Chains A and B, each alone.
Chain A
Amino acid sequence: MSMDKIFGIAGSALNAQMVRLNASASNIANAGSTASSEIDAYKAKRPIFETVLSEQQNNLGGVRVTSLVDDQAVHGQIHDPGNPNADENGIVYLSNVNEVGEMVEMMAAARSYQNNVEVINTARQLMLRTLEITKI
């Protein structure tokens, strides 16, 4: 029965989209964190997706997250000498998270997740219908 491979494929996508959602949540949570240098400041995390290629079955495969990379966007700086994180010039470094962008990212990930849930649901229904063939 080859229908069950759909569950694996869509399941891997659910997994990947969940990593993306988690990264987004972490980015939003850390949007307000500050640091005393650009290196220490929080950098937004971006998951990198890649197709899983299997040699058998015509290269049918799902998707996986290969790595989480730091966003290269510029960090915001504010002059706030009273802040405990301020450096010797009174500069505080903010995270480079773009909150509006993260919200969009979150919605896109949620939509993709729902899509794959739908795929699983359809495949499941068809599988059950196929099983009914043997019913007397």
Chain B
Amino acid sequence: MKLIDTTFGIHERALTLRSQRMEVLARNIANSDTPNFKAQDIDFKASLKRVQANDSLTVTNSGHMQSSNRAGNGSLLFTVPVNSSADGNTVELSVEQAKYGKAAAQYQATLRFLEGDISALRKVLKGE
């Protein structure tokens, strides 16, 4: 549906990516005591760019594969720690906590944009 696709635009994809990033950060926090665990993060800007590029692929046949909204493996990057620890773990809890909090706020921001779009759409449908 053209109207809905274009109205939500980037925010729909952004929301998916944001929740994926929160997953990665949650994993970092969960593994903060695991020896040799390497902290990871998603490069949000690059991932969103790639997702958007994938989206513009034209599907001329029903047998064609649909582009996926998931961030690919390449966008998962290893975090460079400020202070390295002796057990090979690169998770810095305070940094990860800050990142998680920020990611949660960003998720809410994207959500707010989507809500605005939806309420606008609803107003149009109601003819208010």
Contact = CB atoms under 8 A, between A and B. Distances in A.
Given A9-B23, A49-B35, A51-B37, A129 B111 contact: yes
Given A2-B16, A126-B107, A10 B29 contact: yes
Interface in A83-136: 108, 112, 115-116, 118-119, 122-123, 125-126, 129-130, 132-133, 136
A2 B122 CA distance: 26
B33 A123 contact: no
B30 A10 contact: yes
A125 B107 CA distance: 11
B43 interface: no
Contacts of B108: 126, 129
Contacts of A16: 30, 33
A12 interface: yes
Interface in B79-124: 93, 97, 100-101, 104, 107-108, 111, 114-115, 118, 122
Interface on chain B toward A: helix, strand, loop, or mixed SS? helix
A5 B23 CA distance: 7
B76 A58 contact: yes
Contact of A49 (B24, B34, B76): B34
B117 to A, nearest CB: 10
A133 B100 contact: no
Interface centre among A6, A60, A116, A133 (most CB of B within 10 A): A6
Given A112-B32, A122-B104, 11 more contacts: A5-B23, A10-B29, A13-B31, A51-B31, A58-B76, A112-B33, A115-B32, A115-B97, A118-B97, A123-B26, A136-B122
